[in-house]
Amino acid sequence: MSLSDIDAPTANPLQAFVAAPPGVSMDAYWMPFTANRQFKKQPRLFVKASGMHYWTDDGRKVLDGVAGLWCVNAGHARPKIVQAIQAQAAEMDFAPPFQMAHPKAFELADKVSKLTPAGLNRVFFTNSGSESVETALKMALAYHKVRGEGTRTRLIGRERGYHGVNFGGISVGGMVGNRKQFGTMLSGVDHLRHTHDPKRNAFSLGQPEFGAELADSLEDLVALHDASTIAAVIVEPVAGSTGVLVPPKGYLNRLREICDKHGILLIFDEVITGFGRTGQPFASQTFGVTPDMIVMAKGLSNGAVPMGAVAVKQSIHDAFMNGPEHLIEFFHGYTYSAHPLACAAALGTLATYEDEGLLTRAGDLQAYFGEAVHSLRGEPNVIDIRNIGLVGGVELSPIAGSPAKRAFDIFLDCYERGVLLRTTGDTVALSPPLIIERGQIDQLVDTLRGAIRRHA
């Protein structure tokens, strides 16, 4: 049986559909990161998912080219995950995470710590990528303070970075659309230069050759602010939301060296690259660079129940473990940290990854996937193609005066033809579940090719 056979529909999947109750207004739901008015004129509703596919409310089967939202790495409705959630809901719905715990939280933290690079073996749970980012930034600040280096308060992000939507995340983030409506955000933040360099690197297969020296912009910030004021640098190893920006060869190593030289913590935001997306459990392993903290979410629980986590070096954790033993060491946490349903879902997820070798499957498919995506070179308006593991970005030239419209029209066109993609600006992003088969990669790319031609 091939991995994609798991989604062979039952005798009549339509029987299982639950349509929206007639007469329900669409007005009340203010949708996140959505063109609400356009959507409500032309709604797109999913009502069922299995394996590599969604089904729409009108019964159409749609190939999932983006793992839901970069999170359903093992494919949809996988039995071990479904059963784990069902059993946990019946056994214990909730356990308070402050001064109390439940066994699965420890089991999961232990399992996660075995997947992360050596040394990152302490795990703090959250409920999303955004919360994981805030947690990591607060940990970095508090870490320096408990060590007596409380002047290190500055946080460094990167242009074109995405670190979720909370105030810390948008402050270190570098997407203007996500920042400009929200005032001045955190003070004491600065940004590295982004690494996008189409003049030198357009159509690179895998990691681009040029741009390691862009990491030196951290030296410029150190010269400007002084290392004694800088707590941490946060970057995505591969930037996803700003259009799939793969790190130039040597760039992350250089960033690591500069952080080490100046006592600055290096945080990798692996919310999309974690859990097999680039061919190893984490991108830090793919690129051979170990940060001090890894921010994760999405693939941790296969998107089935919200969950995030931050893995940190033991030395960071241990720095907090001083003072009287009955006192709380880190004043941070969420009501739903290590929620029993999320832990159960994540344990089912990790078991599925292990059973099917999914955390390295992107490495096996990378050559085929990369070649397929790069076959779009030469199609109308395609100005760059980027890829790593099972991630692809196809950048299109914008329609004059209507940025993002060409890519959005292509997204709608593909959706009508049974393929779900995602767009950011004028880049089309592909990040399918790791169970994808070669024939489905062809379907994904050929459907996109047709849409690109139709919208030339």
Catalog residues that contact ligand PLP under the rule CB under 6 A.
128-130, 133, 162-164, 236, 240-241, 269, 271-272, 297
Q: Angle 340-356/79-91 helices, nearest 10 degrees?
A: 160
Angle subtended at Cα 397 by Cα 394 and Cα 400, rounded to the nearest 5 degrees: 150
304-319 in b/e burial notation, b at 16+ Cβ within 10 A?
bbbbbbbbbbeebbeb
Q: Which is nearer to ligand PLP, 64 or 236 (CB)?
A: 236
Q: Which is nearer to ligand PLP, 66 or 451 (CB)?
A: 66
| Residue with the two structure tokens 């979410």 | 297
Question: By beta-carbon distance, which residue lies closest to ligand PLP?
Answer: 129
Q: Which is nearer to ligand PLP, 33 or 331 (CB)?
A: 33
CB of 136 to ligand PLP, least distance (A): 10
Q: Which is nearer to ligand PLP, 142 or 296 (CB)?
A: 296
Q: Which is nearer to ligand PLP, 105 or 244 (CB)?
A: 244
Distance CA(447)–CA(176), nearest Å, equals: 31
Kindly state the tokens that stand for 216.
């030196």
CB of 310 to ligand PLP, least distance (A): 12
Q: Which is nearer to ligand PLP, 79 or 177 (CB)?
A: 177
One-character DSSP codes across 30-75: --TTS-HHHHHHS---EEEEEBTEEEETTS-EEEESSHHHHT-TT-
Backbone angles phi, psi at 244, to 5 degrees: 60, 80
Find, among 142, 110, 124, 101, the residue nearest to 312 by Cα: 124
Distance CA(243)–CA(172), nearest Å, equals: 18
Kindly state the tokens that stand for 93.
């719905």
